[in-house]
């Protein structure tokens, strides 16, 4: 009896053990499945929070980020095959062929934009190096995946919230958002205007400041008069910029009448630029009442077409656009006062910098005195102390705004800030007519307009 009982007991024990083993195995398997899942859930939560933070007017759960359906209309939104530059071509010049003196004469002093090639081939962020086995092995290359490996936990700015505070995501979260394969029905793939990293603080932070060593200032842009203000006081001037297709920068003029260079490390960017013009102003380029919401892609869909019409250039007298696609390894030069908008055609990584040179100092100084009066004073003191009496003299000669002639007033307001408003009656008339035309054009996309109103 005892023996049988023991046998039975043994048998039950064995069964129990087996059961518990299988149970544990399943538990392990389940946990294994759940572990990354939980991580993904956490990242999705962070993405939703970043979206709510940067665009509180759009409901994340009710499809606010996908309401236009641009993601399902790539053929249209991102198609640049028949791109026409109405005003002429943006010249491409090779840094190997054009000397800095020639660049100053032909582009800088004439405020002519251009695309510079052959200037980044030696930059660690762009170089393709191969190891002995012929495998690509440059860990400093700026791809989203490599940046994630280097800075997984560092947080990059994707926008600002309603109180003006920076909204940030870790590199791991942002890479997850961009990873279309791992993340086919979530993340950037469906968003009309995806999150875009535009971060000017990376070069000041302990972990990420090493990024500064991964590129050079192109020789054409070595002069930077704002450096005299001092690093802490000077306005933001350098940004690391990366994001998925359909992200971008809506139409604007760079602040304080500064010029910029924008080096594309990977991907393709579509640019449109309008030359400085007295009458060109924010109400013309960003008319109210057509559903513009600050997104670059929406601007390209709804406002850009108006600038391609006869009404715009021949009747309205507005400048025609320069349109161009910038490729990886190319640097765009944007002179001060040019309105411009940028749309990322693919996933892109770029670095951009704004600057002030001696020939444009007068305009930058006027804009700084108006926009940042305290800083402009400090700047002037420092310029004098550093022996730039020439610039000091130029600065004190600059008329106050009230002393400008009517013409100068209009031109300086449109070139010094993205908020430039036109103040002539002529421009007001033009605006009314162009607004009508814009509405008419917007109606052509009838279906899309109606869908939007329903949301
Ligand atoms: O790359 C971009 O999105 C455009 C950058 C730009 O225009 C700017 O920084 O002012
Ligand atoms: Fe810009």
Ranges of each domain in the chain: 84-142+154-168+192-280+319-423
pLDDT confidence of residue 130: 84
Query: Does residue 263's CB lie within 6 angstroms of at least one atom of ligand 1?
Result: no
User: In sequence order, which residues have a C-beta less than 8 Å from that of residue 22 and are 6 or more positions away?
Assistant: none
Using one digit for the tens of pLDDT, what is the confidence trace for 139-174? 999 999 999 999 999 999 999 999 999 999 999 999
Determine if ligand 1 sits within 6 Å of the CB of residue 350. Answer: yes
Output the pLDDT for position 420: 37
Closest Cα to atom 5, ligand 1: which residue? 249
Expressed in angstroms, the distance from the first to the final Cα of the chain is 78
User: In tens digits, what is the pLDDT along the chain, a chain of 455 residues?
Assistant: 334 445 566 566 666 655 555 555 555 555 455 557 788 999 999 999 999 999 999 999 999 999 999 998 766 889 998 888 888 899 999 999 999 999 999 999 999 999 999 999 999 999 988 888 888 889 999 999 999 999 999 999 999 999 999 999 999 999 999 998 887 777 899 999 999 999 999 999 999 999 999 999 999 999 999 999 988 889 889 999 999 999 999 999 999 999 999 999 999 999 999 999 878 989 899 998 888 989 999 999 999 999 999 999 888 889 999 999 999 999 999 999 999 999 999 999 999 999 999 999 999 999 999 999 999 999 999 999 999 999 999 999 998 876 554 444 433 332 223 333 333 445 566 666 676 777 666 665 433 333 222 22
77 within ligand 1 shell (Cβ under 6 A): no
pTM above 0.85, yes or no: no
pLDDT of residue 74: 61
Q: What Cα–Cα distance (Å) separates residue 404 from each residue in 123, 277, 352, 393, 413?
A: 44, 17, 32, 18, 11
Determine the atom of ligand 1 nearest the C-alpha atom of 352.
9
**Do the strands 348-355 and 166-170 form a parallel or antiparallel pair, or are they unpaired?**
unpaired
User: Does residue 416's CB lie within 6 angstroms of at least one atom of ligand 1?
Assistant: no
What's the gap in Å between 342 CA and the centre of ligand 1? 7
Residue identifier of the C-alpha nearest atom 7 of ligand 1 = 249
327 has which bridge partners? 268
- Return the bridge partners of 238, or none: 353
What is the residue-wise DSSP string for 312-369?
A: IIIIT-PPPPEEEEEETT-EEEE-TT-EEEEEESS-EEEEEEEE--GGGHHHHHHHHH
Distances from the Cα of 438 to the Cαs of 284, 289, 302, in angstroms? 10, 10, 8
CB of 336 closer than 6 A to ligand 1? no
Question: Could you tell me if the CB of 248 is within 6 A of ligand 1?
Answer: yes
Q: Which atom of ligand 1 is nearest to the CA of 334?
A: 7
Beta carbons of 356 and 226 less than 8 angstroms apart: yes
Altogether, the residues listed in the chain come to a count of 455
Residue with tokens 């006062």: 337
Residue 260 CB less than 6 A away from ligand 1: yes
How many CB atoms lie under 10 A from the CB of residue 231? 9
Q: Which atom of ligand 1 is nearest to the CA of 254?
A: 10
C-beta atoms surrounding 368 within 10 Å: 26
User: Does 342 sit in the ligand 1 pocket, CB within 6 Å?
Assistant: yes
CA 361 to chain centre: 26
Give the ligand with the smallest distance to the CA of 249. 1
Choose among 255, 262, 222: nearest CA to 240: 262
Strand partners, 332: 115, 262
The residue whose CA has the least distance to atom 6 of ligand 1 is 249
Task: Report the topology of domain 84-142+154-168+192-280+319-423.
Answer: Jelly Rolls (2.60.120)
Instruction: Give the integer Cα–Cα distance in Å for 161 and 157.
Output: 11
Distance in Å, CA 273 to ligand 1 centroid: 12
Residue 234, Cβ neighbours under 10 Å: how many? 17
Rounded (to 5) percent helix, strand, coil in the chain: 45, 15, 35
| Residue 21 tokens, joined | 């083993």
CB 347 within 8 A of CB 243: yes
Per-residue confidence (pLDDT) for residue 390, from 0 to 100:
96
Atom of ligand 1 nearest to the CA of 198: 3
Closest ligand (CA of 236): 1
Give me the pLDDT at residue 408, please: 41
Counting ligand 1 atoms within 8 A of each CB, the residue from 263, 274, 328, 352 with the most, and so the one to mutate, is 352
Pairing of β 259-266 and β 348-355:
antiparallel
d(CA 396, CA 375): 15
Between CA 258 and CA 256 the distance in angstroms is 5
- Centre of ligand 1 from the C-alpha of residue 41, in Å: 32
């Amino acid at each position: 009896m005892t023996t049988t009982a023991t046998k039975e007991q043994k048998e039950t024990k064995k069964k129990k053990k087996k059961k518990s083993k299988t149970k544990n195995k399943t538990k392990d398997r389940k946990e294994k499945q759940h572990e990354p899942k939980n991580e993904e859930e956490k990242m999705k939560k962070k993405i939703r929070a970043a979206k709510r933070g940067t665009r509180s007017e759009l409901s994340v759960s009710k499809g606010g980020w996908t309401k236009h359906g641009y993601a399902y209309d790539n053929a249209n939104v991102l198609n640049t095959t028949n791109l026409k530059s109405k005003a002429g071509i943006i010249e491409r010049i090779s840094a190997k062929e054009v000397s800095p003196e020639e660049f100053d004469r032909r582009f800088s002093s004439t405020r002519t934009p251009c695309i510079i090639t052959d200037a980044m081939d030696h930059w660690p962020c762009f170089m393709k190096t191969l190891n002995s086995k012929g495998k690509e092995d440059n860990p400093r290359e700026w791809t989203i995946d490599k940046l994630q490996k280097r800075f997984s936990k560092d947080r990059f700015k994707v926008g600002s919230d309603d109180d003006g505070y920076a909204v940030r995501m870790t590199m791991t979260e942002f890479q997850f958002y961009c990873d279309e394969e791992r993340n086919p029905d979530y993340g950037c793939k469906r968003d009309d205007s995806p999150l875009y990293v535009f971060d000017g603080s990376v070069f000041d932070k302990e972990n990420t400041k090493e990024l500064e060593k991964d590129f050079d200032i192109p020789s054409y842009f070595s002069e930077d008069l704002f450096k005299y203000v001092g690093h802490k006081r000077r306005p933001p001037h350098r940004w690391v910029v990366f994001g998925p297709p359909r992200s971008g920068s809506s139409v604007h003029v760079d602040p304080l009448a500064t010029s910029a260079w924008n080096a594309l490390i990977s991907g393709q960017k579509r640019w449109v630029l309008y030359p400085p013009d007295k009458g060109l102003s924010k109400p013309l380029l960003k008319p109210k009442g057509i559903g513009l919401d600050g997104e670059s892609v929406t601007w390209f869909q709804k406002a850009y077409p108006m600038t391609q019409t006869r009404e715009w250039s021949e009747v309205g007298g507005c400048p025609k656009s320069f349109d161009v696609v910038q490729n990886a390894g190319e640097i765009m030069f944007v002179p001060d006062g040019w309105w411009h908008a940028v749309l990322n055609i693919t996933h892109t990584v770029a670095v951009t910098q704004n600057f002030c040179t001696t020939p444009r100092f007068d305009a930058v100084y006027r804009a700084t005195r108006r926009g940042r009066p305290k800083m402009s004073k400090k700047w002037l003191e420092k310029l004098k102390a550093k022996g730039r009496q020439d610039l000091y003299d130029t600065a004190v000669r600059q008329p106050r705004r009230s002393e400008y002639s009517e013409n100068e007033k209009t031109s300086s307001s449109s070139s010094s800030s993205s908020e430039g408003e036109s103040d002539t009656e002529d421009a007001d008339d033009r605006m009314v007519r162009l607004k009508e035309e814009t509405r008419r054009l917007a109606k052509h996309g009838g279906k899309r307009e109606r869908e939007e109103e329903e949301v």
